[in-house]
Amino acid sequence: MGTDVFQIAVNCIKLVIVFLLMVQAVPLLVWLERRGSAFIQNRFGPNRVGPLGLLQLLADAVKFLFKEEFVPANAVKFLYYAAPVAALVPATLAFAAIPLSTPVSVDAFEMFGQTWGPYTFLWQGYEINVGIVYVLGVSSLAAYSILMAGWGSGNKFSLMGALRASSQIISYELALGLSIVGVIMMYGTFNLTEMIAQQQGTLSFQFLGHTITSSWLPNWGIFYQPLGALIFFAATFAESNRLPFDLAEGEAELVAGFHVEYGGFKMLLFFIGEYGHMLVASALMATFFFGGWGIPFVGVAEVQAWAATVVGAGTSASLLTGLVHFMVFTLKLAIFLWIFIHVRWTLPRFRYDQLMELGWKTMLPWALFNTVLTSIIFLIAHS
C-alpha cells in the first residue's frame, strides 16, 4: 500500500476512483446500449430527458432508488440480499489490477512542515506480478453471485438460469484460459505492465536469425496472435453473459434468468456487475492485443517532451502524460464496448446445446491448436 500516510491515502483514493469509474460507466453504457439498439433497429431510443436523452441515466437511478422493497416469500433471505452485493466485487477486483496509463512520478514537496516524496504512483488500483492469473481467477468468481441469486430467490426459473449461466461461464473459461497461453509465450511474463511495454514501437520480430521490421504497423499482439485474439474475444462474450451467449436469460423460456425475482436497486447492482465484466474484457483485449495505453507510433518519451513544453517539466508534465495515455486507453475501451453492443443487437441467440458444443468441441480444440502452432513457430524462429 505504501510507506507513509500520503502514499497510503493516495492509493486508497485511487482504488475508490477506479471503482467509481466502473460504476459511473454503467449508466453511460446503458444509455449507449439503448440508443445504439434504437439506431440499429431504426427507431428512437430514450430522447426526452435532457439533450439526446443523456439525463435518462439520472432519472433511471432516482427511479431505481425509489422502487418498492420486495422479497419473495419463498426466498432464502441472506442469499437473496448477498447476491447483488457479491456481483459487484469480482469485476471491481479485476478492473483495479489493469494498468490504465503510464505511472505518474511526483517530485518531493513541502506539506504540513514536512518534506514528502518523491513518489511514483501507478495509474491502476494495484500492480500484481501475476496479473493475468489474478484477473482470470477473480473474474470467474462471478459464478458464485449468479448461483447465490438463482438459489436464493426460490424460483425454478432463477435456478435454471443460474445453472445455465454458471455452466456456460466455466465452459468458456477453458477456451479463454487456453487462448492466453500463446500470448504468455510471446511476452514471457504474467505482468500486464510489462506486456504493454513490449508492445511499444513498430512491428519488429526475430525470424531465423533475421530481424524483420515494418514501419507502418504498430508492435501489437494482434499481429502475432490473431487466432488467439479471436478466441479470447468470443469467449469473453460468453463470460460476461452477453448475446449471442446470453442463454442465462433466454426471455422466451426462462423469463429473465437468474434475476427474475429482482427489481429496483438490487437489479441495478447486477447490471453494474455485468457491465463491469464487459469493461474488464475490453480492457484485457486492449492490453493483450492492442498495446494497452500505448499510442501507436508515438513513444512515451515523446509525449513527455510535449507535455513538458505545455505545462513545464516535473509533476504536472508527468500527470499530463498519464492523462493523455489514459484518454487513448479509454478510446480503445470504447471501441471494444461498442463492438459488444453492436454484436448484441445484430446476432440471434444460440441454442443451449449449440453453445456448449461451440465451447467444448470447437473453441477448445482451436485454442489448443493455437498453442501448439505458436510453440512450433517459436521453436523454428528462435533457433
Residues 121-140 that bind other proteins (CB under 8 A): 125-128, 132-133
- The Cα–Cα gap between 281 and 238 comes to 11
Helices (H), 67-155: 77-96, 131-139, 142-152
For residues 68 and 110, which CB has a smaller minimum distance to other proteins in the complex? 68
Specify which residues 295 forms β-bridges with: 298
For residues 38 and 122, which CB has a smaller minimum distance to other proteins in the complex? 122
Binding mask 176-215 for other proteins (x = CB under 8 A): -xx--xx-xx--xxx-------------------------
Q: Which of 26, 96, 324, 328 binds other proteins (CB under 8 A)?
A: 96
| Shortest Cβ 53–other proteins spacing (Å) | 24
Q: Is 357 in the site for other proteins (CB under 8 A)?
A: yes
Judge if the upstream peptide bond of residue 118 is cis by omega within 30 degrees of 0: yes
Q: Are the CB atoms for 157 and 257 separated by under 8 Å? A: yes
- The Cα–Cα gap between 225 and 377 comes to 12
Per-position DSSP letters for 247-301, written without gaps between them: GGG-HHHHTTGGGTT--HHHHHHHHHHHHHHHHHHHHHHHHHHS-TTPBTTB-HH
Q: Is 74 in the site for other proteins (CB under 8 A)?
A: yes
Region 22-61 residues binding other proteins, contact defined as CB under 8 A: none
Q: Which of 101, 102, 139, 171 binds other proteins (CB under 8 A)?
A: 171
| Shortest Cβ 104–other proteins spacing (Å) | 17
Q: Which of 33, 173, 249, 274 binds other proteins (CB under 8 A)?
A: 173
Q: Which of 106, 364, 366, 370 binds other proteins (CB under 8 A)?
A: 364
Q: Per the structure block, which three cell numbers stand in for 305?
A: 517532451
| Shortest Cβ 260–other proteins spacing (Å) | 5
Binding mask 148-167 for other proteins (x = CB under 8 A): ------xxxx-xx--x--xx
Tell me how many degrees the CA angle 285-291-297 measures, rounded to the nearest 5. 150
- The DSSP secondary-structure symbol of 68 reads P
Q: Which stretch binds other proteins (CB under 8 A): 173-181, 195-203, 213-221, 333-341?
A: 173-181
For residues 54 and 184, which CB has a smaller minimum distance to other proteins in the complex? 184
Q: Which of 41, 43, 68, 210 binds other proteins (CB under 8 A)?
A: 68
For residues 4 and 382, which CB has a smaller minimum distance to other proteins in the complex? 382
H or E segment to which residue 104 belongs: strand 101-106
Q: Which of 6, 81, 144, 338 binds other proteins (CB under 8 A)?
A: 81
φ and ψ at residue 67, rounded to 5 degrees: -70, 155
| Shortest Cβ 148–other proteins spacing (Å) | 13
- The Cα–Cα gap between 252 and 75 comes to 24
Q: Is 298 in the site for other proteins (CB under 8 A)?
A: no
- The Cα–Cα gap between 150 and 46 comes to 31
Q: Which of 5, 65, 212, 305 binds other proteins (CB under 8 A)?
A: 65
Question: Binding-site residue total for other proteins (CB under 8 A)?
Answer: 79
| Shortest Cβ 283–other proteins spacing (Å) | 16
- Give the length of the chain: 383
Q: Per the structure block, which three cell numbers stand in for 266?
A: 438490487
- Identify the CA nearest to 286 among candidates 204, 216, 195, 179: 195
Query: Strand 109-111 to strand 114-116: parallel, antiparallel, or no bridges (unpaired)?
Result: antiparallel
| Shortest Cβ 341–other proteins spacing (Å) | 25
- The Cα–Cα gap between 311 and 218 comes to 29
For residues 88 and 285, which CB has a smaller minimum distance to other proteins in the complex? 88
Tell me how many degrees the CA angle 378-380-382 measures, rounded to the nearest 5. 65
Region 2-21 residues binding other proteins, contact defined as CB under 8 A: 11-12, 15-16, 18-19
Region 233-292 residues binding other proteins, contact defined as CB under 8 A: 255, 260-261, 264-266, 269
